C-alpha cells in the first residue's frame, strides 16, 4: 500500500515563469518550475517527491538507454473561465499508462499515486497553466527502467516522472500526410496499442523520408497488407465522407486515443453517423478523387483536432477542401474547448478540477 500523502516537496528558489510568453508558446520547449518523481525499488513505489525541474543522472548501462523500456502519456490542463484549473480525463490516461506498462513489463502505477502526483504538481505550478486561446499546460507522465544492466531482461527498478510544459498549437497549419505503404508502424501481436517510446523511435525514419518529399507526417497502414489506414505518427485519424464520420477501430495495432474517444462520443450524441471499421486506403482515395472526402483530421492530446490539408498516395496528392469551410470538426473542437474551459456543462465527467 502506498502512502500517497507523503509527497515530499522541494520548491524552486527561483521561478522561471517570466520566460513564458503566452502569445508565442512553441510546443515542448519550455518546462515548468517543478517535476514529480517516484522510484520503484524492491517491488514498491517509494520516495515520492516534487523537486525543481532539473536534469537527472543515470548510469551509462541504464537498461532504458539500450532497450527502450519506457512508456509515456500525454494530457492537458486548462484554465477555465473562472480561472480554475481543469485537467481533461486524467483517469483515462492513468488507465492507459497501465495498459502500456503491462506490455512492456513495467509495474503498474496505481491510479491514486498517478492522480495525487498530478494534482500536487499542477497545484504547485498552477501559474504555468496559460489562459490565452488555444493554449494549455501539456502534462507528460512517463515511466522507465532504471536498472544498471545491459543483459536482456525486464527491468527490476523503475522511475515514474511527470513533467509539464505550457503549449500552443502542435500544428499551426493543416497537416500534409502521406499514406505509407512500404514501412510499418505496428503488427498484430506487437506494441502498436502501447504508448511506448520505441514505437515513436521506429517511426522517425519513414517519416523523415516523407518529410523530404514535402509531407509533414505519415498515415500508417496495416503492417500485413498496407491496404487499411491505421493512425498517423502523432494522432488518430478521422475522415468525414458523405457526412459520415469514419475511423479505424482501435485494435492491437492502434493507440486507443482519449481525444478520439471524446470526439466519437460527442459526434454520436449529436446524431452524426459514426462508423468504426477497417478503413480501406482505396475507399479514402476514391472518396478524395470524387470530392466526397469532406474533412479529414487528426485527433490527439497534443494535436487536439488537426485538419489535414493534403493526402499523398503513391504518385498522387489529393488536396482537401479548405478547413475554414469544414463544419463537423470545427463544431466538435468548439464543443471540446467549451467543456474544457467550463463554458459548457461537463455531462460526461471528463473534467477534473485541481
Q: Which residues contribute to the site for ligand COI (CB under 6 A)?
A: 74, 234, 300-303
Task: Please report where in the chains the cell 489506414 appears, as a residue.
Answer: 229
CB of 239 to ligand COI, least distance (A): 19
DSSP class of 148: B
* Nearest to ligand COI of 97, 328 (CB atom): 97
Which grid coordinates are listed for 205?
A: 525514419
Q: Where are the alpha helices (DSSP H) in 74-216?
A: 90-103, 111-124, 197-212
CB of 156 to ligand COI, least distance (A): 27
* Nearest to ligand COI of 69, 287 (CB atom): 69
CB of 101 to ligand COI, least distance (A): 16
Q: Which of 229, 218, 239, 204 is nearest to 175 (CA)?
A: 218
* Nearest to ligand COI of 196, 246 (CB atom): 196
CB of 138 to ligand COI, least distance (A): 7
End-to-end Cα, the chain, rounded Å? 24
Cα 186 → chain centroid? 17
CB of 316 to ligand COI, least distance (A): 27
DSSP class of 54: -
Cα 163 → chain centroid? 14
Q: Where are the alpha helices (DSSP H) in 55-180?
A: 63-67, 90-103, 111-124
* Nearest to ligand COI of 216, 283 (CB atom): 216
* Nearest to ligand COI of 88, 318 (CB atom): 88
CB of 301 to ligand COI, least distance (A): 3
Which grid coordinates are listed for 256?
A: 486507443
* Nearest to ligand COI of 207, 281 (CB atom): 207
DSSP class of 302: T
Q: Where are the alpha helices (DSSP H) in 125-269?
A: 197-212, 258-269
Radius of gyration, alpha carbons of the chain? 21
CB of 202 to ligand COI, least distance (A): 13
Give the SS3 label for residue 352: strand
* Helices 258-269 + 90-103 axis angle, to 10: 130
139 class by beta-carbon count within 10 Å (0-12 exposed, 13-18 middle, 19+ buried): buried
Give the SS3 label for residue 10: coil
CB of 219 to ligand COI, least distance (A): 15
* Nearest to ligand COI of 318, 352 (CB atom): 352
* Nearest to ligand COI of 205, 345 (CB atom): 205
Q: Cα separation of 223 and 230, whole Å?
A: 9
Amino acid at each position: 500500500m502506498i502512502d500517497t500523502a507523503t509527497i515530499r516537496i522541494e520548491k524552486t528558489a527561483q521561478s522561471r515563469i517570466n520566460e513564458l510568453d503566452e502569445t508565442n508558446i512553441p510546443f515542448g520547449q519550455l518546462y515548468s518550475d517543478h517535476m514529480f518523481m517516484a522510484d520503484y525499488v524492491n517491488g514498491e513505489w517509494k520516495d515520492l517527491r516534487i523537486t525543481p525541474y532539473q536534469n537527472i543522472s543515470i548510469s551509462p548501462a541504464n537498461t532504458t538507454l539500450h532497450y527502450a523500456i519506457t512508456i509515456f502519456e500525454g494530457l492537458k490542463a486548462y484554465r477555465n473561465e473562472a480561472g480554475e484549473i481543469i485537467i481533461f480525463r486524467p483517469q483515462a490516461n492513468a488507465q492507459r499508462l497501465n495498459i502500456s506498462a503491462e506490455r512492456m513489463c513495467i509495474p503498474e502505477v496505481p491510479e491514486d499515486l498517478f492522480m495525487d502526483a498530478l494534482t500536487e504538481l499542477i497545484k504547485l505550478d498552477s501559474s504555468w497553466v496559460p489562459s490565452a486561446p488555444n493554449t494549455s499546460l501539456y502534462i507528460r507522465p512517463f515511466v522507465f527502467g532504471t536498472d544498471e544492466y545491459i543483459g536482456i531482461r525486464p527491468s527490476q527498478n523503475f522511475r515514474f516522472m511527470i513533467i509539464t510544459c505550457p503549449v500552443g498549437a502542435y500544428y499551426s497549419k493543416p497537416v500534409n500526410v502521406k499514406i505509407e505503404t512500404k514501412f510499418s508502424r505496428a503488427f498484430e501481436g506487437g506494441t502498436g496499442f502501447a504508448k511506448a517510446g520505441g514505437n515513436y523511435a521506429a517511426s522517425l525514419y519513414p517519416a523523415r523520408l516523407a518529410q523530404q518529399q514535402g509531407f509533414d507526417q505519415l498515415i500508417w497502414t496495416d503492417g500485413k497488407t498496407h491496404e487499411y489506414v491505421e493512425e498517423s505518427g502523432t494522432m488518430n485519424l478521422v475522415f468525414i465522407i458523405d457526412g459520415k464520420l469514419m475511423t479505424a477501430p482501435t485494435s492491437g495495432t492502434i493507440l486507443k486515443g482519449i481525444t478520439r474517444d471524446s470526439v466519437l462520443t460527442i459526434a454520436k450524441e449529436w446524431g452524426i453517423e459514426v462508423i468504426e471499421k477497417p478503413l480501406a486506403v482505396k475507399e479514402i482515395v476514391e472518396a478524395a478523387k470524387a470530392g466526397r472526402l469532406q474533412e479529414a483530421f487528426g485527433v490527439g492530446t497534443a494535436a487536439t483536432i488537426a485538419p489535414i490539408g493534403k493526402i499523398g498516395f503513391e504518385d498522387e496528392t489529393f488536396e482537401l477542401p479548405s478547413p475554414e469551410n469544414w463544419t463537423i470538426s470545427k463544431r466538435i473542437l468548439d464543443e471540446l474547448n467549451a467543456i474544457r474551459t467550463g463554458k459548457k456543462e461537463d455531462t460526461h465527467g471528463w473534467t477534473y478540477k485541481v
